Amino acid sequence: MARIPIDPTELLRETIAALADPGCLLVSKGSDGTPNVMTIGWATFGVIWGLPICTVYVRHSRHTWKLLEQHGEFTVNVPAADLAQAAVTCGTLSGRDADKFAEAGLTPVPAAQVDVPIIDECVVHYECSVVHRTNVDPMHLAGSVLDGCYSKGDFHAIYHGHILGAQAHENARARLGG
């Protein structure tokens, strides 16, 4: 199926639904050029600094955190429901120990705007370059969030990515149930 360029806001409703189930797939790569994929359930989309932004949250303990620190680009890929098991696989294995693309049956292909691949089997793709990075500050979190999400003290780094391009399969809306 051919991919076509889209406005980054065109399939946001479907993207946000996919974050909840089955999760979206964040691709990064390190200085050695090897890509890695992880499942994410937390992301925000909007306009900051007059730019279309995708903000992703990655725990410091994750292999992806190291890769994002080395290479400030990432892609967010939206899977249809038939890739739910691939999302589970990418969320349970570590890229330190396994080739998650191979394990999940996913194919990295070149992106149009960044030097990090997109996932061929996914139906929507956001290509991002990090313009700001910060960390969750436990001193400024509500107690309920701190207790509910960070009981082990494993806080997130927050990456604001300028969406340089977005593309989707021609039938993406239908495949995502929209």
Domains of the chain, earliest start first: 3-170 (2.30.110.10)
Per-residue model confidence (pLDDT) at position 141: 93
Per-residue model confidence (pLDDT) at position 142: 95
Per-residue model confidence (pLDDT) at position 1: 65
Give the residue ranges of the chain where pLDDT is below 50. none
The one-letter amino acid at 97: D
Burial of residue 145 (number of CB atoms within 10 Å: 0-12, 13-18, 19+)? exposed
CA dist list (Å): 56 to 18, 64, 75, 93: 14, 11, 10, 19
Asked if residues 9 and 97 have their Cβ atoms less than 8 Å apart, the reply is no
Per-residue model confidence (pLDDT) at position 177: 87
Q: What pTM does this model have?
A: 0.96
- The SS3 assignment for 103 reads helix
Between CA 30 and CA 132 the distance in angstroms is 18
- Return mean pLDDT, the chain: 95
Asked if residues 157 and 65 have their Cβ atoms less than 8 Å apart, the reply is yes
Between CA 64 and CA 143 the distance in angstroms is 27
